[in-house]
Structures are given as C-alpha cells and as structure tokens.
C-alpha cells in the first residue's frame, strides 16, 4: 500500500501550503510514481468532478446567499432577530446567535456568515463595551449553525459523494441547528449576566413592533418553507432548488424590497464566483486524491480497521466522531469532508448506521473544528476582522464549544433527533 501521497499531503499541510494545492500535489505524487498510469489521467481526474449535475447546486446556493446580502433580506432578518431577543442581557450577542440561525436558511456558508456578522454585529459589540475575544467567540460559534440549517453546502457535497438524498440531509439539519442555537443562547445569557452586558432594547418588543418586523421579513422567511415543500413534493431537486432560490431572491430584492440594482450585478457575480471557485478547486483536487485512494483500496482498509475495533454502531460513531473532531482542528472543513466521506460512508453503512445521521455528524463535527486552533477558518475570520489574538479567542470560545459538544453527544446518542424529521416528512427512501 503506497502511503507516500498521503505523507506528502500531510507535510504540505503542516507547512501551511493552501489546502487545494496540498491535496493536488499529494495526488500528483502518486501519478508520477506509477509507471502504468498516463500522466494526462491526472488532469482528467482534476476535471472529472466538475462535470457533475448535483454540484451545480454549489454556485447556485453561493449566488443566492450573495444576492440576499445585497437585496435587503439580511437587514430585515437582523431587525427581526433584535426584536425577538434584543431585550435579553447581552442583547447584541443574542441577536448574533438568532441571526445566524435565520441566515442559515438563506446562505448555507459558515465562512460567509462569520465575515458578515463580525463586521455587522461583532464590531458593534466591541464598541458597546463587550470584551473583543467574547465578541469574536460569539460570532464564530454562531456561524457553526449556518451550515447545519438547510440549505447547507456541506450537505450538498456529502450527498453527492455518498449518494444520499440531499433533501433528507437538508431536513435533518433543522432540529440540530435549533438545538445548537438554544445551547449558545443559554451560555451567552449566563456570561452576559455575569459580565453585565446590557440589552439593546429597554423592553420586550411590543406585539405591533414584532408584527411589523415579521411582516418585513416575511418574504425572507418563506425561503426555507419554499425549499422544504418543493423537495417534499418533488417540484424540484436539491440542485434545481439553488437555481429557483436565485430567481426568488432576485425577484424579492428587485421588486418587493426594491434594494437590488442592476449596477450590483458585477459585484454579486464576482463574489459568488470567487466563493464557488474556492470550493470547486478543493473538490477537483480531492477527486484526484480519491482516485489514488480507490486504487490503493484505502477505504476498504480503513473499513476493516474500524470494524475490527468494534461492530457496535454506537461505539463506532463515538470513535468516528472523536477522529473527526481532531481532524477538523487541522484541516479545512470542506476539504476534510471531501476526503473522509468516501472512507467513512461505507463503514457506517456496513454496521447499520443511517447515512443521513452520519452525514449530519460529519458536517457538524468538521464545522465545530472550524472554531478551534490551529487551522479553524471561522476562528481566523472572526479574529482577523475583530483584531483578536487566537489565544484570547480560545479561552473565550471554551464555554460555547462545551455547549456544542453537549448537542453533538445528544445527536450521537439519539439518532431520532437527526433522522426523525426527514423520515416523517420525506418517508424512508434514501
């Protein structure tokens, strides 16, 4: 078994080489060392993954999220979040958590949400006397919610790689996303009370204020209903849902809120293209590395090793989750997802673990890894924008990390929290 490509990839990662380059060079090492493989096959593998209809959802959802930020949808969701929780201690921090949950229905990208929230609410928290590391921790921890609430890009990629219904994965994220939001709100409330962080509203929003905020955000709030109903009754596939949401968000921004201008088109398309390119480059590189792993039968070797440890589904899930938590600390979440899914999905299926349950746990684990050093992307985004040292951030994130670990443990112990709703709404088909 040739492990040199994996060794090259690992060394390059520790040398802080960009993830996509490290993966691509690791794969190239294998193709160069094999006399029976023509080198043009390497280029073919790099291009192979881009020729996939399910992955069309990635640029569509990325474009939808950017359109929503430019169309006034985000501003109205922020106003609604503030009306709901702005009267609580640490009102700005609580608003951040609720807005992350609402943005999950619109964006699906934790990195995009962290950047937006750090600039929009994080900086405002610091101005109002919040400890900067705490503000950065709230922003990063809240951004974990966004990829879990449908439509999350991680679910699209996992569904494509593991041949699992993306619609079921989307719906599976609803209850876990809500649980993470509630756990973060509880921790934030306790810290805000102890530190004396004040509400942003003097009182609870009056029914008329809340009704106005709900009315203004109604069009934005219909997006998740639109997605779930459309998938449930087969009006469109998850891939087509992305394109439908792009059209829907454009119509809302241009004709309902009237804040989306033709002059915004270049900026919107550029931002969406850059976000899509960052993901697709990693997917392409990982396809070449995956080809090497398949030829060397690494997934089957990994399956044999893991099942030799235990055939108990619960114990195996604990082992897998421990591995993913560590991996997420060192590898960017989407890159890790692409690499581990072909290995772990067959193993889980062989011992009776539901693939939707596994997909949720993989995406959640690796997203949690994005708020931990040394390579947490959500951590770096929040710390960079708010000018916070990683060491200070790490101390502040620990209570929120503990809350998320409790939710993760509940999802491992009680699979119904993940698969109960998709089974109810979409039947048992996969």
Sequence-distant (6+) residues with CB within 8 A of 138 are 93, 96, 97, 122, 125, 184, 188, 400
Higher pLDDT residue, 369 or 110?
369
Residue 23 lies in a domain: no
- What is the arithmetic mean of pLDDT over 360-377? 86
Range in 117-121, 122-126, 253-257 with the lowest mean pLDDT = 117-121
The pLDDT value recorded for residue 342 is 85
The pLDDT value recorded for residue 427 is 61
Q: Give the burial string for 67-79 (b: 16+ CB within 10 Å, else e).
A: bbbbbbbbbbbbb
CA distance 66 to 255: 17
CA distance 261 to 84: 30
CA distance 132 to 396: 10
CA dihedral 147, 151, 154, 158 (to 10 degrees): 150
CA distance 337 to 326: 13
Q: Scanning the structure block, which residue is given the tokens 């997917």?
A: 283
Residue 189 lies in a domain: yes
Residue 9 lies in a domain: no
Total domains in the chain come to 1
How far does Cα 25 stand from its chain's mean position?
A: 26
Q: What percent of the chain has pLDDT over 90?
A: 24
- What is the arithmetic mean of pLDDT over 342-354? 87
Q: How far is CA 24 from CA 5, 317, 366, 379, in A?
A: 10, 30, 21, 25
CB 408 within 8 A of CB 364: yes
Q: In 169-208, at which residue ranges do the beta strands (DSSP E only) sit?
A: none
| Torsion angles phi and psi, residue 389, rounded to 5 | -70, 145
Q: What percent of the chain has pLDDT over 70?
A: 95
Range in 66-70, 172-176, 211-215, 261-265 with the lowest mean pLDDT = 66-70
Q: How far is CA 328 from CA 121, 147, 212, 284, 294, in A?
A: 26, 15, 41, 20, 23
The pLDDT value recorded for residue 300 is 67
Residue 1 lies in a domain: no
Q: Which DSSP string corresponds to 41-76?
A: HHHHHHHHTTS-SGGGHHHHHHHHHHHHHHTTHHHH
Q: How far is CA 369 from CA 338, 360, 362, 410, 418, in A?
A: 15, 14, 11, 18, 20
Residue 366 lies in a domain: yes
Residue 36 lies in a domain: no
Residue 13 lies in a domain: no
Instruction: Rank 156-165, 236-245, 276-285 by mean pLDDT and report only the highest.
Output: 156-165
- What is the arithmetic mean of pLDDT over 240-260? 85
- What is the arithmetic mean of pLDDT over 5-12? 85
- What is the arithmetic mean of pLDDT over 247-264? 87
Angle at CA of residue 105, ends 100 and 106, nearest 5°: 90
Q: What confidence category does residue 430 fall into, taking pLDDT thresholds of 50, 70 and 90?
A: very low
Structure tokens at 5: 């490509």
Q: Which domain holds residue 257?
A: 53-426
The pLDDT value recorded for residue 211 is 92
Higher pLDDT residue, 300 or 344?
344
Q: How far is CA 209 from CA 96, 161, 217, 221, in A?
A: 19, 46, 12, 17
How far does Cα 287 stand from its chain's mean position?
A: 20
CB 199 within 8 A of CB 91: yes
Q: What confidence category does residue 357 fall into, taking pLDDT thresholds of 50, 70 and 90?
A: very high
CA distance 143 to 167: 22
CA distance 378 to 203: 33
The pLDDT value recorded for residue 73 is 80
CA distance 386 to 330: 22
CB 429 within 8 A of CB 167: no
- What is the arithmetic mean of pLDDT over 228-240? 75
Residue 39 lies in a domain: no
Sequence-distant (6+) residues with CB within 8 A of 63 are 242, 246, 268, 269, 272, 276
**pTM score of the predicted model:** 0.80
Q: What confidence category does residue 194 fall into, taking pLDDT thresholds of 50, 70 and 90?
A: very high
pLDDT higher than threshold 90 for residue 66: no
CA distance 287 to 346: 17
CA distance 67 to 244: 13
CA distance 397 to 62: 28
CA distance 240 to 230: 10
* Model pLDDT for residues 375-421, shown as the tens digit of each residue: 677 888 888 889 888 889 999 999 999 999 999 999 999 999 999 99
Q: Scanning the structure block, which residue is given the tokens 């060392």?
A: 33
The pLDDT value recorded for residue 410 is 96
* Helix or strand run (H / E) with residue 183: helix 174-195
């Amino acid at each position: 078994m040739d492990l040199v490509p994996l060794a090259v990839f690992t060394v390059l990662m520790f040398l802080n080489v960009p993830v996509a380059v490290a993966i691509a060079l690791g794969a190239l090492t294998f193709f160069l060392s094999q006399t029976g493989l023509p080198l043009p096959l390497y280029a073919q593998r790099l291009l192979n993954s881009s020729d996939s209809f399910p992955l069309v959802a990635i640029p569509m959802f990325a474009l939808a999220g950017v359109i929503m930020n430019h169309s006034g949808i985000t501003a109205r969701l922020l106003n609604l979040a503030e009306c709901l929780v702005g009267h609580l201690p640490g009102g700005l921090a609580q608003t951040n958590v609720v807005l992350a949950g609402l943005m999950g229905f619109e964006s699906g990208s934790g990195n995009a949400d962290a950047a937006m929230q750090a600039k929009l609410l994080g900086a405002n928290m610091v101005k109002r006397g919040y400890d900067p590391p705490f503000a950065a921790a709230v922003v990063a921890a809240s951004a974990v919610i966004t990829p879990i609430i449908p439509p999350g890009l991680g679910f699209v990629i996992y569904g494509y790689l593991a041949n699992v219904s993306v619609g079921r994965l989307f719906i599976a994220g609803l209850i876990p996303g809500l649980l993470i939001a509630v756990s973060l709100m509880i921790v934030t409330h306790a810290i805000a009370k102890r530190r004396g962080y004040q509400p942003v509203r003097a009182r609870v929003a009056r029914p008329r204020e809340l009704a106005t905020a709900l009315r203004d955000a109604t069009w934005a709030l219909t997006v998740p209903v639109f997605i779930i109903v459309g998938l449930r009754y087969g009006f469109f596939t998850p891939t087509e849902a992305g394109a439908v949401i792009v059209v829907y968000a454009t119509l809302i921004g241009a004709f309902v809120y009237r804040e989306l201008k033709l002059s915004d088109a270049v900026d919107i398309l550029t931002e969406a293209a850059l976000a899509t390119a960052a993901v697709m480059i990693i997917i392409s590189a990982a396809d070449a590395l995956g080809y090497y792993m398949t030829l060397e039968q690494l997934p089957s070797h990994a399956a044999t090793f893991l099942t030799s440890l235990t055939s108990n589904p619960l114990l195996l899930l604990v082992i897998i989750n421990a591995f993913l938590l560590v991996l997420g600390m060192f590898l960017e979440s989407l890159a890790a997802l692409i690499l581990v899914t072909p290995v772990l999905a067959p193993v889980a299926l062989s011992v009776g673990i539901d693939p939707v349950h596994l997909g949720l746990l993989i995406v959640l684990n690796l997203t949690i890894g994005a708020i931990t050093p040394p390579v947490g992307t959500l951590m770096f985004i929040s710390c960079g924008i708010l000018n916070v040292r990683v060491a200070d951030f790490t101390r502040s994130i620990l209570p929120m990390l503990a809350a998320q670990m409790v939710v993760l443990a509940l999802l491992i112990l009680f699979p119904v929290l993940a698969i109960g709703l998709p089974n109810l709404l979409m039947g048992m088909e996969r």
